[in-house]
Amino acid sequence: MAVINIGGVTEDVITADEFPLEKAREALKNETIAILGYGVQGPAQALNLRDNGFPVIVGQLESDKTCWDKALADGFVPGKTLFTIEEAARRGTIIQYLLSDAGQMATWPSVKKCLNKGDALYFSHGFSIVYKEQTKIVPPADVDVILVAPKGSGRNVRLNFLDGSGINSSYAVFQDYTGRAKERTLALGIAIGSGYLFPTTFAEEVYSDLTGERGVLMGCLAGIMEAQYNLFRKHGHSPSEAFNETVEELTQSLIRLVGENGMDWMYANCSATAQRGALDWKGPFRDAVAPVFDKLYESVVSGKETERVLKTNSAPDYRQKLDKELEEMRNMEMWQAGAVIRSLRPERRNK
């Protein structure tokens, strides 16, 4: 276990140096890992585990042809490594419950009946356990309940694994029946290719995750991009100029520097005019959005956000409504401009 100190706060983190892949293989040598759900996180975690030499089976609704066909294309074989949700849960000793939150709620009664004494029920999100009053997911007392939550999309969990970098993940133990829950958790975190593992709780994970994706990671990011793009267009700037100054420069230049060396380094390596302006305006933007973040966090902790998510995602016409919302976003001038500008990047023109 490595100890890091950040601003006087000490954290214990786990890397492959402290818990190498060989130790993970030894810890899980008698386990059968069942991935339930082949949608977002399922494919990445299943393929990373398989590539690292762990026995993996997949459980998927055959009626969901898109996910079923994807599992087939990835080499999982019906009756051997690809099963129904219930059959995979019955065969597994570690059940990685990677269906959507609404999907977990819908399938829980049948999955619960398949759990055996000593199994591990694994989540990559604290949602179902923390909001059990809404989801009705209460695990039996004779199983381990554990969490490994990669801090990235399923796509990047896979891509980072393939390039050897890994995605950082948080981990938690909610229920330790076997006395091996933490060992199982850390082994699985290393086995799916995590860059490093840091401890959390189910509640802290879901509060930070739901706030983050509604905030800086997605909701806030899209909102402020739209606001700046619309401002430029209102003042007569062309779509190309508005998009380049709002999105392209951020994603293709500046955010890469932040990721590699930090915000302070990026500030230190831009023009003096940009430095001064950014430093002067950072505070007003922070203060303007702070009340929105307070309201957002309260909505997450109170369960209002999850109540809306479950109600919306469980509706029979959810997919049609979602497709309509995404189509509206796709057809905005801002993202139409983005599609054209991305096509002009040298690596695409030269293909």
Pick from 46, 126, 60: nearest CA to 89: 60
The amino acid sitting at 53 is G
Angstrom distance (rounded) from CA 214 to CA 218: 6
Tokens 């059959």, located at residue: 87
Neighbouring C-alpha atoms within 13 Å toward the C-beta of 248: 18
Give the number of residues written for the chain: 351
Pick from 273, 296, 283: nearest CA to 223: 296
**Sheet strands side by side (includes 33-36):** 82-83, 56-59, 33-36, 94-97, 120-123, 144-150, 167-175, 194-199
E strand intervals along 82-193: 82-83, 94-97, 120-123, 144-150, 167-175
How far from each other are the two terminal CA atoms of the chain, in whole angstroms? 46
Q: Which residues are catalytic?
A: 125
